[in-house]
Amino acid sequence: MKGEISYYKILGVNENASNHELRKAFCKLSIELHPDTTSLEKDYAKSKFQKVLEAYENLNNSNLRKLYDEKLKLKSRGKNNTNVLNDLIIDSKNQNLIGYRRPFSNGELFSLFLLIIIIFISLICSIFIASFTGKELDTIPIWLIK
């Protein structure tokens, strides 16, 4: 890869590193390179930190990591002379990764459930209060009656 450093070299891990090792390397480098906590020049630290973040995000995602590893293998065989890092964005196999959303966690599902229950209870309470105060429930807007 001419001029490009692989994501593995940026994080300082080997190509068989587990997700735990990747996270450990990312945490170590992010503490060292974060622009708010480092003694390095702000612009230099920011660019280095962004490269580390990009490398971690791509290697931590199993689908992107598999694509990246395939591109590295093709590159090492000399069959493909294009830029490996840019191909991940343009690759047609990558179309299913665009717009990928993680599934809701249990806490998020529970929060949505509580929100729906609260809205439903509020509606029932407002109908109940309106019926006891003697007010009719107007289902037809007044401006249509006139």
Q: Which helix (H) or strand (E) holds 26?
A: helix 19-33
Report the phi/psi class of residue 78: left, alpha or beta, with left for phi > 0 and alpha for psi in -120 to 50: left
pLDDT, averaged across the chain = 79
d(CA 120, CA 108): 18
Q: Please report the pLDDT score of residue 100 as a whole number.
A: 60
Q: What is the pLDDT of residues 59-89, one digit of tens each?
A: 988 888 888 888 888 887 775 445 545 555 4
Q: What is the pLDDT of residues 82-100, one digit of tens each?
A: 554 555 544 444 445 555 6
pTM to 2 decimal places: 0.51
d(CA 113, CA 110): 5
CA-wise closest residue to 55 among 38, 72, 39: 72
DSSP three-state, residue 4: coil
